[in-house]
Structure 1
Amino acid sequence: MRNINAVLFDMDGTLIDSEYFYFSNWAPILKSDYDFEIDFDDWIRDFAGHTLKDNVEMLNREHQLQVDEEDMWFATRANYAKANMKNIRLMPHAKEILEKAKAEGLTLGLVTSSYQTTVQTVLGEHQLLDYFSFFVTRELVESPKPNPEPYLLAVEKLNIPKEEIVVIEDTSTGCTAAKDAGLYCIAVSKQAVERQRLNHADLLLNDLAEVKNSLF
């Protein structure tokens, strides 16, 4: 495909099938505490790929709710703990593409809006942590995706030309961050609502098997 030496992966929705997990833990809180109902399509369209802070601000701005960020943080973390994040499955072909990339001698990084504890819990459960040379997590940046800061930090860690780096993302938010950082971005999603917003990706594919075939 191109002369690449590093691949930067998003995590939620790209490597792990986490969006329904997050939806199923946020929706009951919104219903019980704020009398606000969402379905999974709403989650994908309005919430997926954004930080908790961004989602709280969106709810208050767009729906005139009075959601407190700290209250939502504690409520969602309590639900996550009860639901057990270790049960989150990998996306199809996730381990396969990581194994192939490492076998090809590429450097792998993870760039996510999730916190390090989530990365350790979920990727640790699936024994994927050792595939990555570094992790850029929420607590390491001031401005998360769609701001390019996370990817610019990853480029700094890699210390190679941007032309040798490929990003794998699943949301418009993440793709925007990658493109604004000057990186080539492959978007991977089967969600119709998200695919419509990914026309700024360099390449739009359906799953990680297609990504693997395009890279190698």
Structure 2
Amino acid sequence: MINTVIFDMDGVIVDTEPVHKYAFFKHFKQIGLEISNKEYDTFRGLSTKNLYQKIKDKYNLKQGVEELVQQKRNIFNQAFEEKKDLDLLPGMRNLIENLYKEKFQLILATSSARVTLTKVFNRFKLFPYFSHIVSGEDFPKSKPDPAIFLKAVELSKKTKQNCIIIEDSTNGVLAANAAGVFCIGYSNERSGDQDLKNANMIIHHFNELTPQIIKDLQGIN
């Protein structure tokens, strides 16, 4: 029986992706890079640090990765504070609250840095619902590497068969597959060109999920 739900954050809990995209492209322009939307879509699921390491290697950037990360983060932070209409994705708060009432364990496993996820969780008062928070900045490799999800399962003190993952990106789904955990792919049209075909189940709105539906899912054996 499923009793633990592992959530990605960007594009699943809250749609901060447009803010991230704005910050990345503004920063790319500042440092003289021409990154296409198609190439940017391949970065989804990567931590900011690993994303900049990747483009630093590809485009021979002179700046250090930490400097690049901080420059982008400064742009994001300002945009995040200015965007007053930012909200949880439709149906997400209801799903979180209902799962919590039904004694599900909720865990966050996001590629976002702790400073970013903390801003989001403070803004929407989400910390009380989650037993554990796992940030991609704590791992040398990003999704599709499964390390972040394996850590989330370990923290849950449950078996993989008791857990599911909700993801919206190709890299996230592949990471869930590699971790051997049942994956629900959320088709978010604002997440760019993401291939969710390897998800065990695909939804288009969070009202398609209830505690009972999730409880009855069969974990991967």
TM-score by length of 2: 0.84
Residue 45 (structure 2) pairs with residue 49 (structure 1): yes
**Corresponding residue number in structure 2 for 1:215:** 214
- Change in CA separation of 1:106 and 1:189 when aligned onto 2, cut-off 3 Å: same
**1:65: how far off?**
5.1
Q: Paired residue for 1:66?
A: 61
Structure 1 residue 21: deviation in Å?
Answer: 0.3
Map 1:179-198 to 2 at 5 A.
Answer: 179-191=177-189, 193-194=193-194, 197-198=195-196
For 1:144 and 1:30, locate their aligned partners in 2 and report how far apart those are by CA, in whole Å. Answer: 21
Structure 2 CA distance for partners of 1:140 and 1:52, relative to 1, 3 Å = closer
Residue from 166, 171, 186 that aligns with 2:164? 166
Contact 2:49–2:137 (CA under 8 A) maintained in structure 1: no
d(CA) in 2 for partners of 1:211, 1:58 = 36
Q: Distance in 1 between matches of 2:61 and 2:155?
A: 39
Q: How many Å apart are 1:126 and its aligned residue?
A: 0.6
For each residue in 1:123-170, what CA deviation from the matched residue of structure 2 results, as whole angstroms up to 9, or x when unmatched? 111111111011111243333322111111111111112111111111
Q: Which residue of 2 aligns with 1:109?
A: 107
Q: CA RMSD in A?
A: 2.2
Query: In 2, distance between residues paired with 1:94 and 1:115?
Result: 21
Counting aligned pairs with the same residue, the percent is 27
Q: Which residue in the other structure is 1:75 paired with? A: 71
Q: Which runs of 5+ in 2 are unaligned?
A: 216-221
- Distance in 2, matches of 1:34 and 1:146, equals 28
- Post-superposition offset of 1:67: 6.1
Q: More deviation in 82-91 or 170-179?
A: 82-91
Alignment of 1:1-216 (within 5 A): 3-39=1-37, 43=40, 45-60=41-56, 64=59, 66=61, 68=63, 69-85=65-81, 87=83, 88-191=86-189, 193-194=193-194, 197-212=195-210, 214-215=213-214
- Cα distance 1:125–1:204, how it changes in 2: closer, same or farther (>3 A)? same
Stretches of structure 1 lacking an aligned partner (at least 5 in a row)? none
> What is the rounded CA distance, in whole Å, between the counterparts of 1:113 and 1:35 in structure 2?
23
Q: Is the 8 A contact 2:48 2:113 kept in 1?
A: no
**How far apart, CA to CA, are the structure 2 residues paired with 1:193 and 1:78?**
27
1:143-202, Cα deviation, whole Å (9 max, x unpaired): 3322111111111111112111111111111111111111000010233721xx211110
Question: Matched residue pairs, number?
Answer: 209
Against the structure 1 CA distance between its residues 139 and 25, is the aligned structure 2 distance closer, same or farther, given a 3 Å change threshold? closer
In the superposition, relative to structure 1, how do residues 111 and 65 fare at CA in structure 2: closer, same or farther (>3 Å)? same
Higher relative contact order (CA 8 A, sep 6+): 2
Moved more, 160-169 or 70-79: 70-79
- Per-residue displacement from partner, 1:60-108 (whole Å, max 9, x unpaired)? 455x352632232121121122223584421111111101111221111
TM-score, normalising length from structure 1? 0.86
